[in-house]
Amino acid sequence: MQNLDETTRTELEAAAFRRLLQHLDEHKEVQNIDLMILADFCRNCLSKWLVSAAEARGAGLDYESAREYVYGMPYEEWKAHYQQKATPEQLAAFEALQARKREQQES
């Protein structure tokens, strides 16, 4: 990627991001908590990163608009149709991840 000009690199990164969103949309069964446990990010994180990138460039993008873009529909609609209640096992795994992160920060 280092041999590519900045415009091409940015276009490739944008295409890969759009493909990631498409992939997540095709796999709505994958819950945000599963993503957090396995990869330490979720759809909401992607939304926050979009807002942060927009702010860094002086562009106006609010969190709800970013979430609608990432989820492909208003968040509340996605949540009502696809979000399942986290299981005790998922909650325990998520808390264990958070505990590990706190330990690393304290080290």
Nearest one of 37, 36, 48, 35 to 75, comparing CA atoms: 48
The model carries a pTM of 0.89
Whether 107 shows a pLDDT value over 90: the answer reads: no
**Residue 81 CB partners (closer than 8 Å, separation 6+):** 28
The pLDDT value recorded for residue 2 is: 85
pLDDT in tens, 12-62: 999 999 999 999 999 999 999 999 999 999 999 999 999 999 999 999 999
pLDDT in tens, 63-101: 999 999 999 999 999 999 999 999 999 999 999 999 999
